[in-house]
Amino acid sequence: MARIDDEDLFQNSTMTFGEHLEELRSCLIRATMGLLVAVVIGFVVAKPFVHLLEQPLKRALANYYSNRAVETFDTWTPRVEGGPALPYSRREVIDAVENHGMSFELREVHADRLARVLGTTPAGAAGSVEDEKAGFGMDDLVPVLLWQPMVKDARVSITTLSAQEAFGMYVKAALLVGVVVASPWIFYQLWTFVAAGLYPHEKRYIHIFLPMSIGLFLAGVFLAFFFVFDFVLDYLLQFNAWLGLDPDPRISEWMGFVLILPIGFGIGFQLPLVMLFLERIGIVDVATYASQWRMAIVIIFVVSAILTPADPYSLLFLAIPLCLLYFGGLAICRWLPPVGARHA
């Protein structure tokens, strides 16, 4: 049997309730100090991090307005039957939008007046007097597509509506960086507190749970950052399109969304670890996990609704992995020998 290291970092004996409170206070102070140091680091890298966080929203806005532009092109009809057609084919428009990153707005102008302004039609040309007598003719409008690179389209920019909003966004970005950077230290302090009240044969699980806990938290954060954001934003903007509303996102609201979703995913991904820990110390057995899986799924969906914003995509993207992690935790508990078998 493997020897238990007498110099184990977590080898303190079990404690009284008062000693538990004192240990909790110490762990919270150390975790807070580590978080403050990480937030200071976050202030250093907050500016490029903000630009990184803007990218999913800008991509979603670009996709939204690209789709709206193509829909506008497809549904446009001349004002009069047989009137001037659009100056581009649908294939040319899609190629410019999808392959060259262009956006356009559809406008209608008086072509002869525009030509005169540009100097391509002399002011005394034939028909000019009649045109002046005719006045403003709606039926004479000709469609024009005003092109620009999508990155310069004002509609995909993210706005602030107050002087202090940019500073608040900067602080939130630094806080998010600090939480992610400090997460190994915070989890270390958390498991230090848990281990302080365990029996010697239970403390060795901490060496397994600590790296697993950090890995699961970071996995949840990265899943939210690099996968979930795009789907959630596309859904929310499609809902705007369904209601006929054009979005005008603010950076502070987006940062609030960014703070909630990754942290919620990181916390939620601790589920199999919590299951295994409770089973290892004898609080919940495998039979209970197996018999109460329906109730567990209901609880997972309720907790997912609390940890995520009010949209079905983010809820499902958290709840479905958690359901899989629940059954994964059940399988791990069954695969590892029970506590009694380890010490028989």
Are both 284 and 330 inside the same structural domain? yes
Phi, psi for residue 307 in degrees, rounded to 5: -80, -10
Q: How far from 94 is each of 102, 142, 155, CA to CA, in Å?
A: 9, 21, 19
Are both 296 and 336 inside the same structural domain? yes
Give the span between the Cα atoms of 79 and 116, in whole angstroms: 23
The CA-based angle 330-336-337, given to 5 degrees, is 120
For residue 40, is it within any domain? yes
Retrieve residue 195's tokens: 């281990």
Are both 39 and 100 inside the same structural domain? no
Let me know if 313 is exposed, middle or buried by CB neighbors in 10 A (0-12, 13-18, 19+): middle
Structural domain boundaries, residue 31: 17-61+157-342
**Which of 112, 127, 156 is the last residue before a domain boundary?**
156
Looking at residue 9, its pLDDT comes to 43
Tens-place pLDDT, residues 105-155:
888 887 776 666 555 554 444 445 455 545 566 677 888 888 989 888 888
For residue 244, is it within any domain? yes
CB 62 within 8 A of CB 104: no
Are both 34 and 103 inside the same structural domain? no
- Of 110, 108, 76, nearest to 90 by C-alpha is 76
pLDDT < 70 stretches in the chain: 1-17, 113-138, 197-199, 201-202, 310, 336-344
For residue 53, is it within any domain? yes
Residue 58: its H or E element: helix 17-75
Residue 258: its H or E element: helix 251-268
Length of the chain equals: 344
Helix/strand/coil for 153: coil
Domain count, the chain: 2
Query: Which residue(s) pair with 110 in the sheet?
Result: 141
Give the span between the Cα atoms of 151 and 120, in whole angstroms: 32
Retrieve residue 231's tokens: 């789907």
